[in-house]
Structure 1
């Protein structure tokens, strides 16, 4: 990353709202189709429409884009919001499998994709709440 890259948000580096929309859509398509993702797909409602919208708004804000999540939902409190779901290594790995595949398909800028993958991996690790 160069000094000029540091002044640009991750949101801008990956391509903004259009990329976030494609990323989330591909993430949930992968969750719906990959056998390895069954464990995390089972944690979701049959209709993914609402949760897709929430993830798009969350990732937009989390990556430095417009405040479109917290104005409605408040502080993310991700661990608290997910505490009712058993999230261990297997669930984390399934989530990352879907997200990494979606990143590969949607984020063209290699360094930005690697940086976002690193950040999302840390987030996924932090979400574990079971051994």
Structure 2
């Protein structure tokens, strides 16, 4: 996937566009508020993670170790609303930056599974963790 998206440049475009959507979409206000005002470091971490996740250089794990995504995000309430806002930003970013429809859908499908797995709001009856899955 890393080569198909255009390598580091493609990942950079995706991350920049994703956070651009997070900064501008009204539906993303809640998840944007979970981030620092300056997104520079956050963008760099996501670029490294996505690059490695897509099969590129192992920059993320070399610097930060195992991703441990759920434990790194546990301090944030992530329910259906937050997941859906994140996916909206990602869907729009993929549509704007990934020309190949098959790759766009492959990435979105994998990221949707990841976003759903990140949910941690036990007050939500639809939460997978709440049902012991």
1:60 paired residue number: 51
Corresponding residue for 2:8?
Answer: 17
For structure 1, which segment, 12-21 or 72-81, has the greater mean C-alpha deviation from structure 2 after superposition?
12-21
Q: Distance in 2 between matches of 1:113 and 1:119?
A: 10
Deviation larger for 87-96 or 12-21 = 12-21
Residue in 2 that maps onto 1:74: 65
TM-score by length of 2: 0.91
Deviation at 1:15, TM superposition (A): 1.4
Count of aligned pairs between the two proteins: 122
Superposed CA deviations along residues 74-126 of structure 1, whole A, max 9, x for unmatched, are 00000000000000000000000000100000001110111000000000000
Cα offset for 1:14? Answer: 1.5
Specify every segment of 5 or more residues in structure 1 that has no aligned partner in the other structure, as ranges. Answer: 1-9
Q: Paired residue for 1:91? A: 82
Aligned-pair Cα RMSD in Å: 0.5
TM-score (norm: length of structure 1): 0.92
The CA deviation at 1:13 is: 1.5
Counterpart residue number, 1:123: 114
> Which structure's relative contact order is higher, taking Cα pairs within 8 Å and 6+ residues apart?
1
Alignment of 1:31-50 (within 5 A): 31-50=22-41
List 4+ stretches of structure 1 deviating above 3 A. none
